[in-house]
Amino acid sequence: MTALGQCLDQYKRFVRENPLQVQLLETAAQSVFFLLPSRFGGDSDDVGSEVCYALSRLFHFFNEQIQLEETLSSGTKHQALRALLSVLSILDLSLEKIAKNRGERARDTVIIVVEALRCAVKLYIVSQEREIFTNFEGKGSRRAIEGEWEEVSTNLERESAEARSEGDGLLLLGEILHILRPFLFCVIERLVLRRQLRRLGKGEGPPNSYGSWLLLAGSFWMDFLSDRSSGAALARREVDLLELGVRSAESLRSTTGPRTGTGILTREASLTRAMMRFAEQKEELRRRKMQWLLYLLRSPLFQLICEPVAKTTDKVLGRAPLIGSLSNYAMQLLMHIQSHHFYTSGSS
């Protein structure tokens, strides 16, 4: 074993034996780099602080994988793909800022490449896994991380699989719309913006915003259809689970003798697992709906509503002592966030 390998093994042992100290170190590093003023300055100096913040998040992600290594099997089928999605979510903003210093064309290329890669990986996971409604980068379900979709040959599992088959089509439709929306949005947005800039450069007058409004409306329509499709499928699945629960309770009441047989325990475990998966799916649907608030930060809705309100508020509060500096910083932070794609894309 090389010296580097020995150092890595010692570090892994330290992380597993001292989780509290490692967590405190991670929190301190992320807090320091997150609050650096230059990170939201809007100039070239913010690239370094953003990269440092991304590295601190990668440090946390690496330690997390070390702690999960003993509980997660090392040879899972899609664990590497999910890790790739997590790394993309950590690095995407840094890549955008680095490319932005090289020009808008380089920034557009990086955005499209990252979104295309993220979209392709998610579509592949959906095509391979049986569970088609998940938080791709989340940790809520060990089954989702491991990809262990073993078949349980019980009557309850066969009945629930038959009941789920009708809603799987709606779930699949909602999932595909959710995955494709950020990629299509960024590609069409880049084309619309370039066309408007060419129009302005040729002296044909100021660029109209019809294309931007249509793009924003189309993006929201895809999100809305995804939510309605997934919500309808989950509502049907909830009814199916309630019926299965009633059926399971009736079978227990009709059982004579001790109720600790292997078949009964397996049946109850299958129902409990199905209900836990359903709860995770409902939570993921709520998380996605909360991301609709990001539309307030997307052009042209931001210029129409949020920016005038923010400027008026900053103008009023800016005259007050102490509060004025905080108001100016908040306004600067808001404008910085709105000017970057991966802050407002909702693709992670």
180 against 332, higher pLDDT: 180
The two structure tokens encoding residue 4: 């580097």
Name the band, by pLDDT with cuts 50, 70 and 90, for residue 159.
very low
Rounded Cα distance between 326 and 322, Å, is: 7
In this prediction, residue 198 carries a pLDDT of 63
CB 142, CB 72: distance < 8 Å: yes
pLDDT in tens, 288-345: 999 999 999 998 899 889 999 999 998 888 888 878 888 888 888 888 888 888 888 8
The two structure tokens encoding residue 198: 């060419």
Q: What is the mean pLDDT of the chain?
A: 77
Rounded Cα distance between 68 and 65, Å, is: 5
In this prediction, residue 151 carries a pLDDT of 37
In this prediction, residue 176 carries a pLDDT of 92
The two structure tokens encoding residue 13: 């042992």
> Is the pLDDT confidence value at 109 over 50?
yes
Rounded Cα distance between 325 and 217, Å, is: 36
> Is the pLDDT confidence value at 219 over 80?
yes
b/e map of 272-300 (b: 16 or more CB within 10 Å)?
eebeebbebbbebbeebeeeeeeeebbbe
In this prediction, residue 2 carries a pLDDT of 77
DSSP state of 58: H
CB 133, CB 284: distance < 8 Å: yes
pLDDT in tens, 19-50: 888 888 888 877 777 766 555 555 545 787 78
DSSP state of 306: I
Amino acid at 142: R
